[in-house]
Amino acid sequence: MATDKTDKPKKPRRQQVFTLLVEVGRKDGDGLPKDSTGAALMCYASGVDEAEAVRETVAILKQADMAPLDVTGYGTLEERIEQGHEVEDDERALMDRALAENAVIVAQVNPFFD
């Protein structure tokens, strides 16, 4: 009897943490300073791949009444180190927390002003 490769159980993919920079615009109730035009948010998000981390981050920010406009991915901790980024202990702790809690952590908010 021949076995079909699709019958083989798939190995679950491992969650990783991705560093994302999200640019947001203005929306009522977003919590940004009154005179700002938007903001940049540094986020650490867990996912099996970067696309999932981006989707989850955008969904969470929309639930928080924010208006995501653009997301730039900087990769996993390992990828960032390979690129020569210096990653401080406090940043690593936030990444560990995002992984442990399967969460999106907004680590920094920098409002934009005209």
Indicate the pLDDT class of residue 109, thresholds 50, 70 and 90.
Answer: very high
What is the per-residue pLDDT across 3-23, written as a single tens digit (0 to 9) for each? 555 555 566 679 999 999 999
pTM of the model: 0.86
What is the per-residue pLDDT across 49-96, written as a single tens digit (0 to 9) for each? 999 999 999 999 999 999 999 999 999 999 999 999 999 999 999 999
Instruction: Return the closest-CA partner of residue 41 out of 63, 59, 25.
Output: 25
Q: Is the pLDDT of residue 48 over 90?
A: yes
19-48 residues labelled b (16+ CB within 10 A) or e (exposed): bbebbbeebeebebeeebebbebbbbbbbe
